């Protein structure tokens, strides 16, 4: 770096010394005078080089100090103490913000990895259908429905963590909302010959769009892992219970059900789980001040209850 910065100066000095030597030679100047001139020129060059190098080292140290300051500021007045406290709070704020960005980046990498792997399943099925020609319209609808759900899952995860995500709390009739969500899964209920029952009604003050997302993820899981029987949805002023007659969840898997990327034994066994649905449910529920409680028994079914947090 030092030699590159000063190569023009050094080249000029060396060129001057060379011209001086040639001039002395052509003028037949005695050799002793030539060597004296060379010695004087080289001495000046060395002194100049050392001076420039010291300047370079000092500038380099100053630049590094500006990039990574190591200062111990001590307040000498109350005004300076307030200013230092403010600066320290700003420093902590941006460090925490940077840590959250880093965490989100790591989570997003995991989410996209899991999501892309899961997307391969319906895509492979569609590809196989195209190659064999052995499929029906309902088969194609089923696979495209799965693709749409997985895509919505990723998009909602991105929206949820976006800084500009807004929440609009209004009076929401729960039965109407539940019915609209159930209609979305009507083709799956019909194809699997599952019954669905909706009892009760209530009105909550909440964000309709994000509550619908919570209900979609829970009902989607219920339909996915239920082969016979059906789903019963009970609406009360203090909660919404969604109960199915599916394969159930192992007791040891329940504590980790809302962890990021956790699929549990049944999810790995049937190769249907992304590990993102319940994670997203918990994230949205926390932001809407809702609670989510899961009870399950293997081969008997699962019950998910959404409740409102009691204000302290």
Question: Residue 197's pLDDT is what?
Answer: 95
Question: DSSP 3-state helix, strand, coil percentages of the chain (rounded to 5)?
Answer: 65, 15, 20
Strands 239-244 and 203-207: unpaired
User: Which three-class secondary structure state does DSSP give residue 226?
Assistant: coil
- List pLDDT tens digits, range 152-185: 877 777 777 665 567 889 999 999 999 999 998 9
> Domain spans of the chain?
2-67, 106-308
Question: Residue 259's pLDDT is what?
Answer: 76
Question: Residue 109's pLDDT is what?
Answer: 77
Question: Residue 156's pLDDT is what?
Answer: 77
Strands 230-236 and 195-200: parallel
In this structure, what token pair is assigned to residue 1?
């770096």
Q: Write phi, then psi, for 230 (nearest 5 degrees).
A: 170, -160
How far is residue 170's CA from residue 204's CA, in Å, rounded to a whole number? 8
Question: Residue 271's pLDDT is what?
Answer: 47
User: Which three-class secondary structure state does DSSP give residue 307?
Assistant: strand
pTM: predicted TM-score of the whole model, two decimal places = 0.60
How far is residue 130's CA from residue 222's CA, in Å, rounded to a whole number? 30
In this structure, what token pair is assigned to residue 22?
């040639």
Give the residues of the chain that fall short of pLDDT 70: 1-6, 29, 31, 34, 60-77, 79-80, 161-165, 260-275, 311-312
Question: Residue 85's pLDDT is what?
Answer: 81
Which class does domain 106-308 fall in?
Answer: alpha beta
Concatenated DSSP letters of 45-87: HHHHHHHHHHHHHHHHHHHHHHHS-------SSHHHHHHHHHH
How far is residue 285's CA from residue 290's CA, in Å, rounded to a whole number? 5
């Amino acid at each position: 770096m030092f030699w590159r910065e000063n190569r023009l100066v050094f080249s000029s000095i060396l060129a001057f010394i060379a011209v001086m030597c040639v001039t002395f030679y052509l003028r037949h100047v005695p050799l002793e005078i030539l060597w004296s001139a060379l010695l004087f020129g080289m001495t000046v060059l060395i002194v100049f080089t050392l001076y420039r190098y010291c300047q370079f080292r000092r500038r380099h140290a100053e630049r590094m100090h500006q990039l990574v300051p190591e200062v111990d500021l001590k307040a000498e007045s109350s005004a300076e103490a307030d200013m230092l406290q403010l600066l320290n709070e700003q420093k902590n704020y941006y460090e925490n913000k940077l840590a959250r960005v880093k965490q989100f980046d790591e989570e997003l990498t995991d989410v996209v990895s899991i999501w892309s792997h899961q997307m391969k399943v319906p895509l492979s099925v569609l590809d196989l259908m195209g190659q064999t020609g052995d499929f029906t319209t309902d088969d194609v609808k089923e696979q495209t429905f799965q693709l749409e759900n997985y895509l919505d899952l990723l998009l909602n995860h991105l929206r949820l963590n976006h800084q500009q995500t807004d929440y609009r709390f209004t009076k929401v009739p729960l039965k109407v909302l539940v019915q609209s969500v159930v209609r979305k899964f009507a083709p799956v209920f019909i194809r699997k010959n599952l019954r669905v029952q909706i009892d009760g009604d209530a009105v909550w003050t909440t964000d309709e769009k994000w509550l619908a997302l919570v209900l979609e993820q829970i009902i989607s899981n219920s339909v996915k892992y239920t082969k016979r029987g059906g789903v019963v949805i009970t609406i009360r002023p203090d909660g919404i219970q969604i109960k199915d007659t599916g394969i159930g969840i192992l007791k040891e898997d329940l504590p980790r059900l809302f962890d990021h990327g956790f699929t549990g034994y049944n999810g790995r066994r049937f190769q249907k789980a992304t590990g993102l649905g319940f994670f997203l449910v918990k994230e949205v529920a926390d932001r809407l001040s809702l609670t989510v409680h899961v009870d399950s028994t293997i081969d008997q079914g699962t019950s998910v209850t959404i409740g409102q947090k009691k204000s302290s």
